[in-house]
Structure 1
C-alpha cells in the first residue's frame, strides 16, 4: 500500500508538467519567423490533415475519403457529394457497418460486386444496391472473387477454396488441403510383418471377419470421397492464391516452402507499459534463405495434382553477369589423358543450375479459353509472361524482360505487376521497361506479336481500362518528370489525351459511370486537397475540402526552383533549390538526401517529407541555401536512373551530391568551406558515406536512422541492388559506410530510434563502436527510446531537428552569424 500511495503522489506531482507538454498553439503573424518547436508539432493540430484513401460510392452519389478536420487522434471516414453543394460529412460507425467496402471484385458486366468485411463475404447488386451476406461464420473467409464465368462466388476459408451459388444458395468445398504428411497405409510393408498378418488371418476367424468389415467400411468411405475433393497433404508447405478455372476443371494454387532455421533479429524495447524489457521479433538479414514457390495444379476430372515445370524458360540457366567477376582465370592446359583433364571436361559439360522462380497467376481471359502466368526469378533479374495450358502443364513464352541489375519500375514491381487481358481475349497487356521507361504493351497470346501502346522518355505510372473497355486511364509524367497528370488513350494505342492541366500531381479516381473524376491534387507548397472535375480535357477542377489551418496559411511557404544538375557522367539530375531572398556571398548551404533510394522528391507536389520541407524554409530564413537532389536510384526517371546504384551504393548516388555541391559553389555563391549534408534512412547512409569518403567537401553532417552496413539490412531490398553478400562481397565492401569510418573529419551527428525494426539500432551501435576504436571524437549519437524507423512523437521530431540545426549553426557559420540555435 505504501508503494501505491507514493506512486499516486508522484503521478499527481507530475500531472501539471505532463499537461504542459502540448501547449495551445498561438497563431503566428504573417511574417513570424519559423522555429523548430513550431514546425515539428503534431501536424494534425496546426498544419491540418489532408484527405486520403479516396473512393467512389458504388452508386456514384458520394465520394468517400479519410480526413481529420476536427483534430482528433486519428482520421475518420467522410463523404461528400460530387456537386460540392454541401460540406463533407463524417460517416457514422453505424453507416460504415452497412457500407460496401472499397475494393473487392466485380463481375465482367459490372453488375455485381463481391467483397469481404470483418472476415465474412458479401455480394452487392449494383443495380438495386441490395447486399446479400454470403457467409456468417466464426472462421475468417477471404479472397472473394467470381468464378465459373461469373456464375458463382469463390472464397478461401482455412486455406481451402469454396464456392457459393447465388441462384441456389449452395456452398461447395472445392479443395481439401491438409497440413502434415500423408498418413501411412495401415497395411504392413515389411516382409516379416506381412507374413505375420497373413498367419493371423488364416488362424483366427474373428480377426479375419473384423478385417473384412474394416475393408468394407473403407470401400464405402472411398465411394463417398469421390463426391468430395481430393485430400491433398501439404507436408511442411503452405498454400495460397487458390483459383478455380473458368470451366471448373482445375484448381491452381501456389505452394510455399519456408526455409528452416532462419535466424530472426530481436529488437529490445526498453520503455514499455510492463516496466520490463520486451523483445520484438524483427526480420532476417540479407542472404538468409528465402521461401521457395511452386505452382500446383489440381485436375478435378482426373483427381490428380501436378507441380508446374519451367526448366524450358529462356535464360533460366544463365549465370548472372556479375558472377563473371568472380570466375577463376583459365589455367595452363594439361595432358588430355590425365584424370584432372577428364574431371575438368566433366565439370564443363555439367548443366548450370537453374535459378529459382516464383509464379504469379494464372490470369484467365474473360471467355475462359486462355490463361497466362507471370514468372520471376528469385534474384529479380528476369520476368517472363507465359501462356499456360493446364491440361498439358505446358507453358509458352510471350515476353521476357531481363535486367543485369534487377527488374522493377512503375506497373512492374516485384510481383505480377500491372497485367491483364484485352477485350478480344487474345492479347495480354502489361508494363515493361524494355525501352528504359515503363510503358504499356500488348502481346498476342497465339502469334507472340508484341505492340507498344505508349512510348517516349517518360513513365506510365499507373494504367487501367475504363469499364466499357474502350479507353485507357493513365497517370504519367509526360510533361515533366516532376509532374503527374491523368490521360486518356485509345484501347489499341495512339495519341495521349491529357485531362488534368494544373502543375503538380493528380491522383485520380474515376466515378462508376466514367463521367466524373475525384482528384486528390497538390502543389509544392500546397498540401493535398480533394477536387472534382468532369472527365474531359481541361475541365475545371472544383475544390471539395479545405484542410490547412489559418496558422499554417499565415506563412509564405516557398516554392523551390526545380533545376537540373549536369552530373560528371553527363546525366541530367533533377533537384529542388531553396535560396534566401537576399543571399550572402560565400554563405552556408545544406544538401538534403531523401530516403528510400527509389523515391522522388524533386517534384512539384506536396512532399511526404513535409517536415523537412518546412525545416528547409527555416534554414533559408537563417541564410542557408538548400539543395534537395533526386540522385541516382530515385524514382520517376526511368530504368537507368533506377539501377544507377547497382552493386555500388555510395557510387553515383554520392557523386550526384558532390556535383550538386560543386554547382552550389560555382553558380550560387556558396562557400566551399560551409557545406553541410543530412538525411534519413537511405539519406542517412549517403550522409555517412559523404562524411567518411569526402571529408574535405562536407564540414558537418546529420545521419538519421542510417544503414551503416548493408550486410545487416533486409533481403528483399538489398539483394536486388547488391546481390547476396556471400556471392558479391565486392559490392558490400565498397557500399557499406562502416568500412570507411576512419575517414571522418567533420562534425557528425547520428540519430536513431531504439525500437527501429527496419534499420536496427544495432546498426548504429556497431558503427559507434567502430568510431570509438578508431579514436574519433567529433561525433555524437542521439537515441530515441520509443521510436521505430519513422518517428511519431512530436517531442522526438523536435529534439532531433534542434540538434540538426545546432550542428549546422555551430559548424557552418562564423561565430558572429550564429542565430538562436535550437529555436
Structure 2
C-alpha cells in the first residue's frame, strides 16, 4: 500500500543530491509538512528539444528563490548540467522549423534567433527592449515572421532585412475625409486650395506606384477607424493575409471591487482593483477583419450567418425572469433582458501552453480556420474562410445546453493543407476528428475516455495524444495514424503529464509523475519502447518517509451517477477497524481531477492526510461531479445547481467510509479550499448534522461576486438567472449553520474576494450562530505562498478536527 520512488528514478540523477544516507525520519509534524517545500524537491518544468535534437532543456525552481534555472541534458548518455548565465546566452529556445527543415527559429530572452541547420550558424534577428513572440516561417521558407504585441514583422533570410508585414492604424484616414458643403465651397472659391489638394493626391499616387514596383518599401498603413482596438492578429504564412480580432475601444469592463493591502512597504493601506463581478458587464463582443496585404484591402468577416447564431438558448429562463420582473413592477430591468437579434461572439482564447488558439492557418497559407464561441457560452463554431467571398463558412457547430468546455478546443490543419482536425465533446467525451471543408467529419477516436494534448508529427503521418483510455485516473501517450486506425499506447507511466516530440520525430520527451514524485523527465522512442529516466529531483529527506500510497477506490452513487472515483488514505493495518474518525477532503477548481496516479497539486494537503492517518483518522479525497476526466455529463451535472450533485457525492463518500472502513458516522469532518471551501460551506449549510466540523478555505460564498468567465458558464448571468445563484450560494443557506465551521481567507485574495468570507461571517453574527471562526491572512492571495501562513492555516484545521471530530478534550481551536 505504500510506495516510494520508482527504482528507475532512484538509480540516476542529473542533479547533485544530498548524501544517500538519511536518518530514518520520525513521526510527521505540521512544522515539517507545512515548511517551505524546497525540502521536498522540485518539479521539472517546461522541457523542450534543442534545435539539433541532441539535447533537452528544462527548468527547475532554485531552492530559496522563485528564480528558475535552466538545465541541459544529453538524452543519449543521461549526462546533464545546470547552465550558468554565459551558457544560457548560447542556449536554444523552443524551436519552430521551416517545411524543408533548412532553418529553425526560436525566442530567447524575448528576442528572435534563426539557425541554419546545415551549418549550425546562429543569427540574432532582433535586439529590442520589447519581447517578440510567435516565430513562424513563410510557406516558401524564405522569410521568418514574428510578432511584437499585435504587430507582425517579416525577416528576409537572404537579405537580412526585417520589415513590418502590415501597419495598423486605429484611426480614420485623414486623407479620406470628404469635404462637407462648406469645404466644397472653399475649394470652388480658391484655386490655391485646389492646387494643394491636387499636390497631395499626386504624392499619394506616386507612393502607390513606388510601393507596387519596390517591395522593399515599408507598407502603407491600414486605417481601421477609431472605434475599435486589436486584441489579436494572425499573419498567413504566405504573407498575403492578416486576420485582425477587434473589440470596441470604449467597452467598459464594469466597476472593479477593491482589495486592500494592509501590510505594505509604504506603511499605508493600499487599495487595488480586482476583477469585475459576474453580470456587471458582459465581455466585449469581438469582430473579425480580414486584411489583403497584397491588394491593400480590408473585409469584415460577418458572423451572422453561423448556424444557430440567431437562436436564444436561454429563451425559457429569460421568459420566466422577465415575467417575474414585470410582475414586480420592474419593467426597465425586464426590458434590459431582451434577447439580442444576433448573439455576440468571442474567439476561443489560446491556452497558457499555446494550445487551443482560435485562429489557425494551414502551413502554406491557403486555408484559414477560426474558432468562435457565443458569449452566452452555449455554442462553439469552427469556420473556414472563403477568401473569394471574404466570408466565414461553418465547418462544425458544437452546442451545449449547459456550457462549452474550457478544454478540448484544439484544432488545426493536416499537412495536406486542406483537411481540418479538431477536438469535440459532441459524443459526451473529448475525441479527435478530421474534416475537409467540403466534406463530412470523421471520428479518429471514440469511446468513454478523454483525448487531449493532440500533437501532429512533422511528417504528417501520426497524431500523438494523451488519454485515460485504461482507467479514468491513468494517463499515457498514445498515437494513431492520421488517416484513422487503432490507438497504440506509447508510454506506460499511468501518470503522464506532458510530452514533446523530437525535431526528427524519432523520440518523445515525457514528463511523468506519481503521487509522491513531482514531474520528472524521461525520453523514449516515439513508436514505443524502453524509456530512459533523465532526472531525479526529489530529495532524500522527503523520500525517506514511509508515505501512504493513496488507494484509488470506486464509491457507488446512490443518485444514479454511477461510480465516484476517490483516493483513500488509511493505516497499513486495517484489521483494527474500531469506530474511527474520518476527514473528507474536497479539491478546488470544480473542474479539476485530483484522483489520478500523477503527482497532485495538493501535495501539502496529501502530507496532511498522512498526518491525519498517523493521528487515527482515515481520509477520502473524491472526484465529485463537475470534476475533470469523466466526460461531459459529469462536468455539466452542476449546471444551475452548484453544490447540489457534488454534495450528494460527498455524502455517498461518507456512507462508503462508514460501511467499509469502520468510520463513526458522527465523527466525519470535511475541508477544502476555493471550490473545496465552497463545498465545505454547502455541506454544513445544506446538510446540517452530517459533518462534525468543517474548514472552508478561501471559499466563494456568494457566486454573484465571482468573475464572469467561470461563473456565467455554469450559472448564466445573475440578472437573467437569479434562481441559479440563490440555489448555488452558501450565503443563502446561512440560517442552517449548526456545526462548527472554521473560515480561512487571504486578505489580498483578488480571485475569490475576502469579502465573500466576511459577508458570510456577518450573516452568522446577525443570525446569532455559535461555533464559527474566521482567520484572515494579511500577506496571502488566493494561493498561499508563505510557509508561516500555511502552518497557521493547517494548525487551526488540525485543532478543529481534534476538538470536534476526534474526541481530544485538551485541543482548543485558535482564534
- Structure 1-normalised TM-score? 0.87
1: CA distance between counterparts of 2:73 and 2:105? 24
Q: Is the 8 A contact 1:111 1:127 kept in 2?
A: yes
Query: Which residue in 1 is equivalent to 2:248?
Result: 257
1:434 to 426, 430, 452: 426
Note the alpha carbon deviations across 1:150-201, whole angstroms, 9 max, x for none. Answer: 332223346433322112234343322223444487775144x6546644x2
Query: Which residue in 2 is equivalent to 1:109?
Result: 100
2: CA distance between counterparts of 1:751 and 1:301? 60
Query: Which residue in 2 is equivalent to 1:13?
Result: none
Partner SS state of residue 486, structure 2: coil
Q: Does 2:456 match 1:465?
A: yes
Shift of 1:29: 5.3
Query: Which residue in 2 is equivalent to 1:381?
Result: 378
> Cα distance 1:290–1:198, how it changes in 2: closer, same or farther (>3 A)?
same
Partner SS state of residue 653, structure 1: helix
Q: Does 2:33 match 1:39?
A: yes
Query: Which residue in 2 is equivalent to 1:128?
Result: 119
2: CA distance between counterparts of 1:752 and 1:186? 57
Shift of 1:680: 0.2
Shift of 1:586: 2.1
Partner SS state of residue 608, structure 1: coil
Query: Which residue in 1 is equivalent to 2:134?
Result: 143
Partner SS state of residue 268, structure 2: coil
Query: Which residue in 1 is equivalent to 2:634?
Result: 641
2: CA distance between counterparts of 1:351 and 1:579? 54
Partner SS state of residue 769, structure 1: helix
Shift of 1:421: 1.4
Matches within 5 A, 1:602-681: 602-681=595-674
Q: Does 2:688 match 1:695?
A: yes
Shift of 1:548: 2.1
> Cα distance 1:306–1:507, how it changes in 2: closer, same or farther (>3 A)?
closer
> Cα distance 1:80–1:453, how it changes in 2: closer, same or farther (>3 A)?
same
> Cα distance 1:327–1:196, how it changes in 2: closer, same or farther (>3 A)?
same
Greater CA drift, 181-190 or 785-794: 181-190
Q: Does 2:789 match 1:801?
A: no
> Cα distance 1:735–1:127, how it changes in 2: closer, same or farther (>3 A)?
farther
Q: Does 2:390 match 1:393?
A: yes
Query: Which residue in 2 is equivalent to 1:283?
Result: 275
Matches within 5 A, 1:251-330: 251-257=242-248, 259-260=251-252, 262-287=254-279, 288-321=281-314, 323-324=316-317, 326-327=319-320
Partner SS state of residue 431, structure 1: strand
> Cα distance 1:50–1:298, how it changes in 2: closer, same or farther (>3 A)?
closer
Structure 1 alignment gaps of length 5 or more: 1-23, 202-207, 332-346, 413-417
Query: Which residue in 1 is equivalent to 2:3?
Result: none
2: CA distance between counterparts of 1:186 and 1:432? 47
2: CA distance between counterparts of 1:400 and 1:242? 24
Query: Which residue in 1 is equivalent to 2:14?
Result: none
2: CA distance between counterparts of 1:91 and 1:229? 45
1: CA distance between counterparts of 2:318 and 2:373? 24
Q: Does 2:536 match 1:546?
A: yes
Shift of 1:703: 0.2
> Cα distance 1:384–1:39, how it changes in 2: closer, same or farther (>3 A)?
same
> Cα distance 1:57–1:819, how it changes in 2: closer, same or farther (>3 A)?
farther
Note the alpha carbon deviations across 1:31-80, whole angstroms, 9 max, x for none. Answer: 62111111001111x21112221112121222211125766554311111
> Cα distance 1:476–1:35, how it changes in 2: closer, same or farther (>3 A)?
same
Partner SS state of residue 802, structure 1: helix
Matches within 5 A, 1:86-105: 86=79, 88-102=80-94, 104-105=95-96
2: CA distance between counterparts of 1:547 and 1:515? 26
Greater CA drift, 182-191 or 676-685: 182-191
Query: Which residue in 2 is equivalent to 1:728?
Result: 721
Note the alpha carbon deviations across 1:380-437, whole angstroms, 9 max, x for none. Answer: 211112221123122322211111111116432xxxxx11112333321111111111
Q: Does 2:203 match 1:220?
A: yes
Query: Which residue in 2 is equivalent to 1:565?
Result: 555
> Cα distance 1:60–1:566, how it changes in 2: closer, same or farther (>3 A)?
same
Q: CA RMSD in A?
A: 2.8
1: CA distance between counterparts of 2:119 and 2:763? 68
Query: Which residue in 2 is equivalent to 1:19?
Result: none
Greater CA drift, 673-682 or 175-184: 175-184
Note the alpha carbon deviations across 1:288-342, whole angstroms, 9 max, x for none. Answer: 23122111012345533221112121111121157347448999xxxxxxxxxxx
> Cα distance 1:792–1:302, how it changes in 2: closer, same or farther (>3 A)?
same
Shift of 1:788: 0.6
Query: Which residue in 2 is equivalent to 1:357?
Result: 345
> Cα distance 1:213–1:94, how it changes in 2: closer, same or farther (>3 A)?
same
Structure 1 or 2, whichever has the larger Rg, is 1
Q: Is the 8 A contact 1:149 1:366 kept in 2?
A: no
Query: Which residue in 2 is equivalent to 1:67?
Result: 60
Query: Which residue in 1 is equivalent to 2:214?
Result: none
2: CA distance between counterparts of 1:186 and 1:722? 47
Shift of 1:494: 1.0
Note the alpha carbon deviations across 1:350-396, whole angstroms, 9 max, x for none. Answer: 99611112246543333443332222211221111222112312232
Superposition misfits of 4+ residues, deviation over 6 angstroms: 184-187, 328-331, 818-822
Q: Is the 8 A contact 1:748 1:778 kept in 2?
A: yes
Give the number of equivalent residue pairs.
762
2:699 to 702, 706, 726: 706
Q: Is the 8 A contact 1:30 1:556 kept in 2?
A: no
Partner SS state of residue 402, structure 2: coil
Shift of 1:623: 0.9
Note the alpha carbon deviations across 1:59-108, whole angstroms, 9 max, x for none. Answer: 1222211125766554311111113453x311111121232222x53322
Query: Which residue in 2 is equivalent to 1:16?
Result: none
Query: Which residue in 2 is equivalent to 1:174?
Result: 165
Query: Which residue in 1 is equivalent to 2:232?
Result: 241
Query: Which residue in 2 is equivalent to 1:595?
Result: 588
Shift of 1:263: 1.2
Q: Does 2:477 match 1:486?
A: yes
2: CA distance between counterparts of 1:196 and 1:382? 54
Query: Which residue in 1 is equivalent to 2:503?
Result: 512
Q: Is the 8 A contact 2:93 2:107 kept in 1?
A: yes
2: CA distance between counterparts of 1:73 and 1:169? 38
Shift of 1:130: 2.0
Note the alpha carbon deviations across 1:479-526, whole angstroms, 9 max, x for none. Answer: 111111111211212111112224433532232223333222222233
Note the alpha carbon deviations across 1:732-755, whole angstroms, 9 max, x for none. Answer: 110011111111111100110011
Q: Does 2:465 match 1:474?
A: yes
> Cα distance 1:657–1:536, how it changes in 2: closer, same or farther (>3 A)?
same
Partner SS state of residue 110, structure 1: coil
Shift of 1:789: 0.5
Q: Is the 8 A contact 2:477 2:496 kept in 1?
A: no
Query: Which residue in 1 is equivalent to 2:546?
Result: 556
Structure 2 alignment gaps of length 5 or more: 1-17, 212-218, 325-334, 349-357
1: CA distance between counterparts of 2:177 and 2:371? 42
Greater CA drift, 116-125 or 65-74: 65-74
Greater CA drift, 238-247 or 731-740: 238-247
Query: Which residue in 1 is equivalent to 2:413?
Result: 421
2: CA distance between counterparts of 1:73 and 1:210? 65
> Cα distance 1:216–1:596, how it changes in 2: closer, same or farther (>3 A)?
same
Q: Does 2:36 match 1:53?
A: no
Greater CA drift, 175-184 or 254-263: 175-184
Query: Which residue in 2 is equivalent to 1:340?
Result: none
